[in-house]
Amino acid sequence: MNTATKVIAFANNKGGSGKSTTCSNVGYALALGGYRVLLVDADMQQNLSLSFFGEEEVLAFSESGENLFTAIKDECDVRPFIRKTAYENLSLLPSGILMSGAEFELYGKKNMEKTLARVLEGVRASGEYDFILLDSPPTLGMLVMNIMCASDYLLIPIEASPWGLFGLANMLDFFGKAQEINKKLSLLGIAVTKADERKGYFRQTMEFLSELENVNVFKNYIRIDSAVEWAQDNSQPVLAYKKSSRSAKEYLEMTKEMLEYVNR
Ligand SMILES: Nc1ncnc2c1ncn2[C@@H]1O[C@H](COP(=O)(O)OP(=O)(O)OP(=O)(O)O)[C@@H](O)[C@H]1O
Ligand SMILES: [Mg+2]
């Protein structure tokens, strides 16, 4: 296996497609497998941070300025802002509410698309982590362009619904533009989430996705499971909250499948 740090972006401009849930659970599953993982919350909603810390702590990350927004604004090393989670091998770089102004901060910077790559360079080059996973906001602007320009792989979580598919073409188009700037970026695949196998639309979605050319669709998908929401209410990934739950098992399988691609 190649030992260099691998950076994976979780992005989709469709809101609520399972980006933060997938990022937190894949991150936890990788850490469970002995990989050293850094999760980076790049969304002002702070959902990835809330997956591991309680509301008060997350608000404090925001108010103290010890978060990714400050690093982007000041172009400083992110390492002082990294927090250890309650789990072995798993750390988090929190976001802050001011991340909503990240676009404004980015515009006007020299080589602006690579700002995030620059501020992550220290931690990446340190070799301290095997994986850095970046959770994105549901947009396709300069911040998400930065996320893709700081990554080796893009993973697109998609909700198996009609509106979940709408916008995929834009997303793939945007990925193509990012690839022009970041030549090493590749599409790891599409991860289907919130699947309801009883619905005909689910089968239609899978069929549609399987017909896309040059796009890997993970065979393991994540079905609707209320344990996901209970886990989030408890600031835990579902794999830590209830490892016997259906979604916990599915996230483990999906992570194994991802590792096969990444380690090829
Ligand atoms: N497998 C699942 N079963 C049930 N609910 C789920 C599942 N996965 C995600 N959810 C719920 O769906 C909602 C959206 O998920 P999530 O926040 O991960 O999406 P997102 O793409 O990060 O959203 P945003 O675009 O707002 O950042 C959340 O309320 C989450 O609890
Ligand atoms: Mg999210």
* d(CA 11, ligand 2 centre) in Å: 9
Residue 35 lies in a domain: yes
Query: Is 263 a member of any domain?
Result: no
- Give the span between the Cα atoms of 12 and 91, in whole angstroms: 23
Q: What is the share, in percent, of the chain residues with pLDDT greater than 70?
A: 99
- The CATH number linked to 200 is 3.40.50.300
Q: What is the pLDDT of residues 57-115, one digit of tens each?
A: 999 999 999 999 999 999 999 999 999 999 999 999 999 999 999 999 999 899 999 99
Is the pTM for the entire model greater than 0.75?
yes
149 in any annotated domain: yes
Does residue 116 sit within a domain? yes
Locus of tokens 């850094």: 38
The pLDDT of residue 187 is 97
What digits encode the pLDDT tens for the residues 200-241?
Answer: 889 989 999 999 999 999 999 999 999 999 999 999 999 999
> What pLDDT score was predicted for residue 165?
86
> How many domains does the chain divide into?
1
Does a structural domain hold residue 1? no
In a domain, 119, yes or no: yes
Ligand 1 atom closest to 47 (CA): 17
Q: From CA 42, how far away is CA 250, in angstroms rounded?
A: 25
Compute the radius of gyration of the chain from its Cα atoms.
Answer: 17
Candidates 12, 13, 19, 21: which one to mutate for ligand 1, based on the most atoms within 8 Å of Cβ? 21
Residue 264 counted as domain residue:
no
- Asked whether residue 168 is domain-assigned, the answer is yes
| Structural domain span for residue 158 | 6-258
CB of 21 sitting under 6 A from ligand 1: yes
3-state secondary structure of 10: strand
Q: Which atom of ligand 1 is nearest to the CA of 232?
A: 31
Flag whether pLDDT at 1 surpasses 50. Answer: no
Amino acid at 159: E
